Structure 1
Amino acid sequence: MSTKIIVYGFDRSPPVRAVLLTLNALNLEYEQISVDTQKGEQFAQDYLKKNPTHTIPVLEIDGQYIADSHAIIAFLASKYGKDDTLYPKDLYQRALVDQRLHYENGGIFHGVVKNHIRPFALCTLSRDAAEAAVKAIKEVYNVIEAFLIQNRYIAGEHLTIADLSFLSTVTVMDLVAPVNAENWPKLTDWLVKLKKLPYYEQANAKGLKEIEEALQTALEKYKK
């Protein structure tokens, strides 16, 4: 009997898309059940039983639940990977992947996406605060460029779950402060390369398009 995999969340969420990218990279079949945090669906009692922290995504496998995208993608790569390419067993290489994921969680998702881009999208920022948001994004680009000077990919010489997770957030930041080859040549090449993944459109571009549409008013306002 095959294991049924269910993902709870919606495509606009970068952490959800990180999980979708990983599932597709592993060529796994799954069901996706929408949980729209903008409608407060994460506070439904049935969902809180699955994840008391009321965040998305949540992964369900055989009646067991895992929350947090980084925990989920590490689990998926460890359990279903045909080899350890996506999440290396070598302790140093794994620590490098983990470090990148910790940086993405604190420095990118919470530090920039939640603290800067969300209020930017709601048009609640002053012009100075909007400029600070763009500056924060560019500082992240500088860090990622440094990672990519050291290695061809985010955490080594081949694709790992760190790349898939970073892709979900970098593509959001790129909507607000476009990556360019003059300032970030390595990051530009990396982004072009990952957008060519055969599952990119299905797993990332769809949700990203929804974010782009939601950002249009803010982009017009702050770029005047």
Structure 2
Amino acid sequence: MKPIDLYVAPPSPTSRAVIIAARYMHINVKLIIIDLMKGEQKEDWFVKMNPQHCLPTINDNGFILWESRAIMTYMANKYAPNNPIYPMDPKQRGRVDCLLQYDLNVLNRAITDLMIPLRRSNKMNQKNNQRQSSTKFLNTIKERKVNEALEYLESILINNHYLIDNHLTLADFSVYCSLEFAEKYHYNLSRYQNLHQYFERLKQILCGLLF
């Protein structure tokens, strides 16, 4: 099988989720790294392929698709149709889709809204040689939204090893990468016992699938 061209930005949670999904399902992909800092995603050749100039993007033998969750479900449907990672049962699949959308619209959005301004503030202080605690820049309202999103996941994991009962699905990959992004910027996940154990468990399973 000719490899799928997979255009990614390695630090991006959405890019990382697609990489994990592809490798977990043993799908042949060719990673093409796009440097966002250099604006490579806005070069003519890329915009012609993807007018939204967003990552990740795939080119599967001429079929172009972007948005990480759409890419993951497409790959599962086409290349791993019997893999329980994306269940065939409509109800189970519906639960996976629901959590993928929860990650997109609630969890990832809340984490990004909190962490991106924090990162920029910290960089600015480093340039000014100021040593101020990063907690000073935490926006209370934004942090509350993150906490609410995490509390919901904590409730799911009280009796489950993974988000959908006790087996991995695409939803776990997407949520894991959002949590990984939060941890990278020193968000304390340990206050949520079940969620923290879940995150550490996934880290052991999935870390070898990344760079």
Q: TM-score range by the shorter chain?
A: 0.7 to 0.9
- For the residue of structure 2 that corresponds to 1:137, the secondary structure is helix
Of 189, 196, 200, the residue aligned with 2:197 is 189
Q: CA deviation at 1:202?
A: 4.2
Please name the residue that 1:117 is paired with: 115
Please name the residue that 1:165 is paired with: 174
| Structure 1 segment 14-33 matched on structure 2, within 5 A | 14-33=13-32
1:148, 1:187 within 8 Å by CA — same for their partners in 2? Answer: yes
User: Are residues 1:148 and 2:147 paired?
Assistant: no
Deviations 1:167-206 (A, max 9, x none): 11111112331211xx322112211211111x52341xx5
| Structure 1 segment 4-15 matched on structure 2, within 5 A | 4-15=3-14
Mapped to 1, the partners of 2:189 and 2:180 lie a distance apart of 9
- For the residue of structure 2 that corresponds to 1:65, the secondary structure is strand
Mapped to 2, the partners of 1:87 and 1:8 lie a distance apart of 22
Please name the residue that 1:200 is paired with: 207
Mapped to 2, the partners of 1:53 and 1:150 lie a distance apart of 40
Q: Which has the larger displacement, 31-40 or 121-130?
A: 121-130
Q: Which has the larger displacement, 8-17 or 47-56?
A: 47-56
Q: Which has the larger displacement, 77-86 or 99-108?
A: 77-86
Deviations 1:97-131 (A, max 9, x none): 11101111111222321x22111111179966514
Q: CA deviation at 1:41?
A: 1.8
Residues 146 and 70 of structure 1, relative CA distance in 2, 3 Å threshold: same
Q: CA deviation at 1:27?
A: 1.8
User: Are residues 1:100 and 2:109 paired?
Assistant: no
| Structure 1 segment 49-128 matched on structure 2, within 5 A | 49-81=48-80, 83-113=82-112, 115-123=113-121
Mapped to 1, the partners of 2:105 and 2:181 lie a distance apart of 16
Amino acid at match of 2:89: D
Mapped to 2, the partners of 1:111 and 1:38 lie a distance apart of 23
Amino acid at match of 2:194: K
Residues 119 and 46 of structure 1, relative CA distance in 2, 3 Å threshold: same
Residues 148 and 3 of structure 1, relative CA distance in 2, 3 Å threshold: same
Please name the residue that 1:216 is paired with: none
2:107, 2:150 within 8 Å by CA — same for their partners in 1? Answer: no
Q: CA deviation at 1:36?
A: 2.2
Mapped to 2, the partners of 1:86 and 1:166 lie a distance apart of 14
- The count of residues paired between Structure 1 and Structure 2 equals 199
Mapped to 2, the partners of 1:100 and 1:21 lie a distance apart of 17
Please name the residue that 1:220 is paired with: none
Q: Which has the larger displacement, 100-109 or 151-160?
A: 151-160
Q: Which has the larger displacement, 74-83 or 127-136?
A: 127-136
Please name the residue that 2:38 is paired with: 39
- For the residue of structure 1 that corresponds to 2:138, the secondary structure is helix
- For the residue of structure 1 that corresponds to 2:204, the secondary structure is coil
- For the residue of structure 2 that corresponds to 1:151, the secondary structure is coil
1:66, 1:72 within 8 Å by CA — same for their partners in 2? Answer: yes
Please name the residue that 2:188 is paired with: 178
2:121, 2:137 within 8 Å by CA — same for their partners in 1? Answer: no
TM-score, normalised via structure 1 length: 0.81
